[in-house]
C-alpha cells in the first residue's frame, strides 16, 4: 500500500490513469510525428472527458469528498465495461493489443478495487 489512507491511494491511481492517457497521446506524437493524429486525439470529447473527470476524481478523493467517491465508482465501472467491450470486439483481429491497453485496464481495475472497499467509502465523508 502506498499510503495508509485508502482514499489517497485511489486518488493516486486515478492520477496515474490520467497521466497514462496524456502520456500515450504525447508518446504517439513523438514517435510518429503525425500532427493529424495529435489533433485528432486532442480534439476528441472522450479524451477531454477522461482527463477532466479523472482529475476531478483524483482531487476530490485526495480531499475525501463523498461525491468524488461516487463519481469515481461510476466512471470506473463504465470505463472497465467499455474497455472490455472494445477488447472483446477486437479479439478476432490479427494484431495483439498494445501494452498500453493492458496498462490502462490494470489501472482501471486497481482503481475500482481500491475504491470498492468499505474503508475507502468511510474515509470519504466530506
pLDDT above 50 for 1: no
How many other C-beta atoms can be found within 10 angstroms of the C-beta atom of residue 6? 21
Segment 92-119 shows an average pLDDT of 85
Confidence of residue 74 (pLDDT cuts 50, 70, 90): very high
- Distance set, CA 2 to CA 52, 72, 77, 114 (Å): 24, 19, 23, 12
Helix and strand numbers (H, E) in the chain are: 6, 0
Confidence of residue 53 (pLDDT cuts 50, 70, 90): very high
Q: For the segment 3-32, what is each residue's pLDDT rounded down to a tens digit?
A: 678 999 999 999 999 999 999 888 888 888
**Is the pTM here over 0.95, yes or no?**
no
Amino acid at each position: 500500500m502506498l499510503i495508509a489512507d485508502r482514499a489517497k491511494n485511489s486518488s493516486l491511481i486515478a492520477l496515474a490513469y490520467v497521466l497514462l492517457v496524456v502520456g500515450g497521446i504525447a508518446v504517439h506524437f513523438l514517435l510518429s510525428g503525425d500532427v493529424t493524429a495529435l489533433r485528432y486525439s486532442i480534439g476528441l470529447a472522450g479524451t477531454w472527458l477522461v482527463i477532466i473527470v479523472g482529475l476531478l476524481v483524483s482531487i476530490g478523493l485526495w480531499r475525501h469528498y463523498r461525491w468524488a467517491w461516487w463519481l469515481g465508482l461510476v466512471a470506473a465501472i463504465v470505463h472497465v465495461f467499455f474497455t472490455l467491450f472494445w477488447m472483446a470486439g477486437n479479439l478476432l483481429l490479427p494484431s495483439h493489443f498494445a501494452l498500453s491497453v493492458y496498462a490502462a485496464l490494470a489501472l482501471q481495475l486497481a482503481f475500482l478495487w481500491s475504491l470498492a472497499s468499505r474503508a475507502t467509502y468511510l474515509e470519504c465523508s466530506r
